[in-house]
Structure 1
Amino acid sequence: MITGELKNKIDALWEIFWTGGLTNPLDVIEQMTYLMFIHDLDDSDNLHARESAMLGLSYESIFAGEVKVGDRMVDGSQLKWSVFHDFPAQKMYSVMQEMVFPFIKDLHGNKESAYAKYMQDAIFKIPTPLMLSKIVDAMDELYKQMSGLKDTDVRGDIYEYLLSKLANSGVNGQFRTPRHIIRMMVELMQPGPDEVVCDPACGTSGFLVAVGEYEREHHREEIFFDRVKKDHYMNHMFHGYDMDRTMLRIGAMNMMTHGIDNPYIEYRDSLSDQNPDRNKYTLILANPPFKGSLDYDIVSTDLLRLCKTKKTELLFVDLFIQMLKVGGRCACIVPDGVLFGSSTAHKAIRKELIENQRLEAVISMPSGVFKPYAGVSTGILIFTKTNHGGTDHVWFYDMKADGFSLDDKRTPIEENDIPDIIKRFRHRDQEMSRERTEQSFMVPKQEIVDNKYDLSINKYKKVEYKPVEYPPTSEILASIRSLETEISNDLNDLEKMLADEIN
């Protein structure tokens, strides 16, 4: 959590952008992403130099001597943050605009390097030298404050705080999944150190970041003291795709800010033939966009075999099944319509999950979870790909509270079902005896089949009606008569008081 003085410094930095004319939150975060990148490039170069010196190895700084920027050669040292931050405002602005940004786009001359890949179409939008000077000074103060904190993930928390300012829904139906919901889903899936994880609609990479945090917390020694597993974690574990290049840059930086060197974050329309990934991943976590419908022409033909539909939410569930390896698991957020829709496509995707895969859980979430971005009612589907069925019982949970008010303000409250959800999901064998009137319970497969594969919790939940005893009609009438007499007497008294006042 970002609190106190650090939060104030971030807000002050945001204010500099706002008052300088950059009022689109995406633009602000994008420009701050670039500047954090440039600052960190200097830091990482210095770190590699020190490590090489300690090991007695040679190391050539990327800023050493003259470096090529476009068609000219310039003194590399002036491209370092630690050097140009002391320049006068006008010179700093010229160096940033004419040298630093072109330099990072062609870093090492390798378009596939982890840094350059996400920066090659960066556009410098800060309008004036004075504004840049103020931003650089504010960021120096921010990094100074960060260096004094012992929390190793403070940079990641800062980035999460910046992302929380993205309050507007994207044009493709995107909206940020609340961090506590992401963490809950990761806790439910308990990813291991050998996972190959994918989010085919990754946005700002929130799910991938949360998996990385979980791995560091639960498998730190297993990963970081093993050269092969560390290489897997840094370079091969995380895969994310999106169609919004701004989101991709922010998402990639989010990953690197959380200590993952080379995530595979790429531009891709996951539902089209651009996406060849089949039987590849061991874990998928996603909250795909529910933007309505697509043209058949742009949808991969193998997705349409199971359910011929234009609805993205159904196509994505189909996609997740196909992208998983056998034995791979998925936790995904879907709109309520997926759970009970009556169309042929809706029924086909639910039948596929229940008959051919192993559907494990359906968690119904209240509609306020995604406020203020959206008020849509959603659920979480958890399943394992088997291609041979295996669904015996499905666990249902009716989430009523997530620790925040369900209005637009989303203020913290005491009521929170998330710890109970995690605990009960991990001990589903103890849920068989629970009554349908309780918040969670098991439903046998055959009952779901008999209900045309309906997965809405209200189909199976029993409401306990408590009889209410009312007094006899004669007693109610007598009470009304008594009230009528009392009102009449009061009116008579009021009339008498008014008459006395007039006289």
Structure 2
Amino acid sequence: MSEVQNKIDRITDILRRDDGISGAMHYTEQISWILFLKFLNDYEENRADEAILEGKDYEYVIRRDLRWDSWASPKDKNGRLDLKRALTGKDLMEFVNITFFPYLKGFKANTNDPKSIKYKIGAIFEYLDNRIASGHTLREILDIIDTLDFQSSSELFELSQIYETLLKGMGSDGGNSGEFYTPRAVIRAMVEAVDPKVGDTVYDGAVGSAGFLVEAFEYMTSPEKKEKLSASDWEKIQTETFYGQEKTSLGYVMGMMNMILHGIESPNVYKGNTLTQNIRDIQEKDRHSVIVANPPFGGKEKKQIQQNFPVESNATEILFLQHFMKMLKLEGRAAIIIPEGVLFQTNAAFTKVKQDLLEGFNVHTIVSLPSGVFLPYSGVKTNILFFDRSGSTSSIWYYDVTPPYKLTKNKPIEYGHLQEFVELYRNVKKRNHRNAKTEEERFDWTVPVSELKDYDLSAKNPHKVVEVDHLSPDKLLSKIKQNNNRISELMEKIENLINE
């Protein structure tokens, strides 16, 4: 086990013993705000050093008496923790809860520029509170985090991987925390397919833990690509490429921390409900060339929110789909995860949105994901919808992801299960261009729009063999008798209830 991993494990063990912490969601949230403040300190110290070399003065974001080395880890002349000045116990709790957090929360109200780091700090802490109950617990954690070096690229990389594991663990906890984590294998395949490049703007209107934006950043800055980037390319990637919104305060904190740890220093991600924007007001200048997202589904929105959309519906998946359609630039490309019901449902709202999608966009690919991709927090079967704004749809290429085993919490989907899809996506000539059963086993097929009925876009794999369990006549007769006996028992119970 690495030294960095050992430190994070120690922190989670310490937090589990604290009375204010309950489950992975809480301890990941609390680790996040402390890590963020240590990162901010190291970032500011680095910027200050650069300013000195350039003969300039650096204006710190955090005031002198509230910086990390003043309260979290004051040092003596030997560089060791100054025990006389290091707050702990009740004194530390009062400082954090009464002085420090209100100061950080006030940043957003005192800053007009949403792109400034002050505004983003204020947005992070606006709905965030310290849940750690013991000042002695917090002191232990501060001492460990102070030893982490955010200016070391190797340590930062390792910490980003560990943080990703924490987010995955938070998702595995189930409940609402699951909405923040999409399996990295699925995200990677989607990002590789849409192929973001320098000059693109990448957007996610339901950021969660920012897995899509992080993967897009890593794809665009892989070692072989990074060496070819100019200084202006790098500046553009850092400041003018990644955009998004996240509704929940917890998701926003997780997402910002995840992006920062992976090297995106200034993402254009804001806290807010994407669906509160009236999409009729969206103009070409507001749109993005690449959209990748896994928006929340199964939720319900109020009538007031529904009025922001031409096709009103209380289903969040239909509202988000309309939002993403409106947010896509001319010639832009999108990959969106949707519940399977969107493809086959034929009520008025679903049908109208699908009609607009097929006629106004090129829905060129639909990937059928296997059941269990989002276990344990959701068993809903999902699909990936790929479309671009280059004209109307003429035909749809389908791919059926079929792992060799049933997906469970402990046997999740892997990138290898999606690798053939990515290869075929990039090599159009190798795809199956027909919608008919073939002698060889295939997981892809193509359907002309003219063959679709009632805008039913569901994936019906013509190659899949449905296995039927053929019972012998004796076993079949026995099963019928069992069912009849059970029906008789239930009818008798119902009659008794009526006669009572």
**Fold in common (TM above 0.5):** yes
2:296 to 266, 275, 289: 289
Matched residue SS, 1:407: coil
Amino acid corresponding to residue 298 of structure 1 in structure 2: I
Q: Give yes or no for contact 1:29–1:162 (8 Å, CA) kept in 2.
A: yes
1:410 equivalent in structure 2:
411
Distance in structure 1 (CA, Å) of the matches to 2:469 and 2:340: 33
1:488 equivalent in structure 2:
none
Let me know the Cα RMSD of the aligned residues: 3.5
Distance in structure 2 (CA, Å) of the matches to 1:153 and 1:353: 40
Q: Give the CA deviation at 1:412.
A: 7.7
The answer to whether the aligner puts 1:321 opposite 2:325 as a matched pair is yes
2:70 equivalent in structure 1:
78
2:454 to 442, 452, 455: 452
State how 1:29-68 maps to structure 2 within 5 Å: 29-59=28-58
The answer to whether the aligner puts 1:129 opposite 2:135 as a matched pair is yes
Distance in structure 2 (CA, Å) of the matches to 1:284 and 1:442: 24
- Structure 2: runs of 5+ lacking an equivalent: 475-500
State how 1:378-393 maps to structure 2 within 5 Å: 378-386=382-390, 388-389=391-392, 391-393=393-395
Q: Give the CA deviation at 1:216.
A: 1.0
2:372 equivalent in structure 1:
368
Q: Which moved more, 1:207-216 or 1:17-26?
A: 17-26
2:187 equivalent in structure 1:
182
2:241 to 237, 240, 246: 237
Q: Give yes or no for contact 1:107–1:116 (8 Å, CA) kept in 2.
A: yes
Matched residue SS, 1:150: helix
State how 1:282-361 maps to structure 2 within 5 Å: 282-301=289-308, 303=309, 305=310, 307-361=311-365
Distance in structure 2 (CA, Å) of the matches to 1:171 and 1:258: 24
Distance in structure 2 (CA, Å) of the matches to 1:443 and 1:271: 32
Amino acid corresponding to residue 289 of structure 2 in structure 1: T
Structure 2 CA distance for partners of 1:310 and 1:240, relative to 1, 3 Å = same
Matched residue SS, 1:58: coil
Q: Deviations over 1:151-187 (max 9, x none)?
A: 6522321221221121345559835211111111101
Distance in structure 1 (CA, Å) of the matches to 2:295 and 2:246: 10
- Structure 1: runs of 5+ lacking an equivalent: 70-74, 477-503
Q: Give the CA deviation at 1:192.
A: 0.8
Distance in structure 2 (CA, Å) of the matches to 1:270 and 1:294: 12
Distance in structure 1 (CA, Å) of the matches to 2:177 and 2:72: 38
Q: Give yes or no for contact 1:189–1:331 (8 Å, CA) kept in 2.
A: yes
Q: Give the CA deviation at 1:300.
A: 3.8
Distance in structure 2 (CA, Å) of the matches to 1:351 and 1:411: 34
Q: Give yes or no for contact 2:201–2:288 (8 Å, CA) kept in 1.
A: yes
Q: Give yes or no for contact 2:366–2:384 (8 Å, CA) kept in 1.
A: yes
Determine what percentage of the aligned residue pairs are the same residue: 27
Amino acid corresponding to residue 409 of structure 2 in structure 1: D
Amino acid corresponding to residue 221 of structure 2 in structure 1: R
Structure 2 CA distance for partners of 1:179 and 1:278, relative to 1, 3 Å = farther
Consecutive aligned runs of 4 or more in structure 1 exceeding 6 Å deviation: 146-149, 465-469
Q: Deviations over 1:9-59 (max 9, x none)?
A: 322211111111212433322221111122122212221232233334333
Bigger radius of gyration among the two: 1
Matched residue SS, 1:359: strand
Q: Which moved more, 1:100-109 or 1:206-215?
A: 100-109
Q: Give the CA deviation at 1:194.
A: 1.0
Q: Give the CA deviation at 1:254.
A: 1.6
Amino acid corresponding to residue 350 of structure 2 in structure 1: H
Q: Deviations over 1:326-346 (max 9, x none)?
A: 211110011111111122222
Q: Give the CA deviation at 1:322.
A: 0.8
Distance in structure 2 (CA, Å) of the matches to 1:150 and 1:349: 47
Q: Give the CA deviation at 1:94.
A: 5.1
Q: Give the CA deviation at 1:347.
A: 2.3
Distance in structure 2 (CA, Å) of the matches to 1:76 and 1:441: 58
1:482 equivalent in structure 2:
none
Q: Give yes or no for contact 1:281–1:325 (8 Å, CA) kept in 2.
A: yes
1:491 equivalent in structure 2:
none
State how 1:422-441 maps to structure 2 within 5 Å: 422-433=422-433, 436-437=437-438, 438-441=442-445
Amino acid corresponding to residue 42 of structure 1 in structure 2: N
Amino acid corresponding to residue 362 of structure 2 in structure 1: R
Matched residue SS, 2:212: helix
Q: Deviations over 1:238-287 (max 9, x none)?
A: 11112212211221222122222221222222223366544411111111
1:211 equivalent in structure 2:
216
Distance in structure 2 (CA, Å) of the matches to 1:181 and 1:195: 21
Structure 2 CA distance for partners of 1:252 and 1:344, relative to 1, 3 Å = same
Q: Give yes or no for contact 1:168–1:175 (8 Å, CA) kept in 2.
A: no
Matched residue SS, 1:367: coil
Q: Give yes or no for contact 1:42–1:82 (8 Å, CA) kept in 2.
A: no
Q: TM-score, normalised by structure 1?
A: 0.79
Structure 2 CA distance for partners of 1:101 and 1:231, relative to 1, 3 Å = same
Amino acid corresponding to residue 210 of structure 1 in structure 2: E
2:271 to 244, 262, 267: 267
Distance in structure 1 (CA, Å) of the matches to 2:142 and 2:112: 27
Amino acid corresponding to residue 129 of structure 2 in structure 1: I
Distance in structure 1 (CA, Å) of the matches to 2:62 and 2:352: 58
Structure 2 CA distance for partners of 1:250 and 1:277, relative to 1, 3 Å = farther
Distance in structure 2 (CA, Å) of the matches to 1:26 and 1:374: 17
Q: Give yes or no for contact 1:63–1:77 (8 Å, CA) kept in 2.
A: no
Structure 2 CA distance for partners of 1:264 and 1:406, relative to 1, 3 Å = same
Matched residue SS, 1:442: strand
Q: Which moved more, 1:403-412 or 1:338-347?
A: 403-412
Q: Deviations over 1:277-321 (max 9, x none)?
A: 4441111111111124323322244x2x3x343222122112111
Q: Give the CA deviation at 1:378.
A: 0.5
Q: Give yes or no for contact 1:358–1:383 (8 Å, CA) kept in 2.
A: yes
Amino acid corresponding to residue 256 of structure 2 in structure 1: A
State how 1:6-21 maps to structure 2 within 5 Å: 6-21=4-19
Amino acid corresponding to residue 150 of structure 1 in structure 2: S
Q: Give yes or no for contact 2:355–2:455 (8 Å, CA) kept in 1.
A: yes
Q: Which moved more, 1:375-384 or 1:346-355?
A: 346-355
Matched residue SS, 1:38: helix
Distance in structure 1 (CA, Å) of the matches to 2:71 and 2:139: 15
Matched residue SS, 2:372: helix
